[in-house]
Amino acid sequence: MGLLPQLNKLLIQAGIELTEPQKQQLISYVEMLHKWNKAYNLTSVRAPEQMIIRHILDSIVVNEHLDGERFIDVGTGPGLPGVPLAIIRPESHFVLLDSLGKRVRFLRQVQHELGLNNIEPIQSRVEEYQPEIKFDGVISRAFASLTDMLHWCAHLPQTNGRFYALKGAIPEDEIALLPDNYPVNRVMELKVPELDEQRHLVIIDIK
């Protein structure tokens, strides 16, 4: 099965509708990731067919739970989940933050080749990055513990912004350690088609 038929099948299973140009951008992103991965070692997932499941679907199932239009993806790596979300959410703006130059170079090439005007790749350590405009949502995927995320990223969200942490199993121990001024809004189970692993989204408010 080619990548596009595979993507179509998984989108149907996930109940997600996208335009044909969006699907093509997602496929092009996977092809770029596969090509650059050989030299830059951007992800441990080697096969494009697995990238569709583990990177594309794993990222875009979060979309329906996001509120706002301005987001930052901290520790974005090769652009996950920020690039897939930016493709299917063209009205939103995504700052893609990573401290490694090779990842940011890749993201700038993605921005150029895919014509993604709503992503902004930035090379910086998260604690040193000072945005001119704060964010509706701070997103992290396999970035750090919840406590570390809040500690390092406390300066990023606006007053009524939220933190969105993509996790595997529910991090009960991490949730128990959260301070009172960061109440958990909800913990959502995420269903990723053909992925036999737990996925959860922890949404944290700011008091």
Binding residues: 75, 80, 126-127, 141
> What distance in Å separates the CA atoms of residue 111 and residue 118, rounded to the nearest whole number?
9
Binding residues for S-adenosyl-L-methionine: 75, 80, 126-127, 141
Residue 119 in contact with residue 86, Cβ under 8 Å?
Answer: yes
CA distances from 76 to 33, 158, 172, 181, 204 (A): 14, 20, 24, 26, 19
Q: Is 155 helix (H, G, I), strand (E, B) or coil?
A: coil
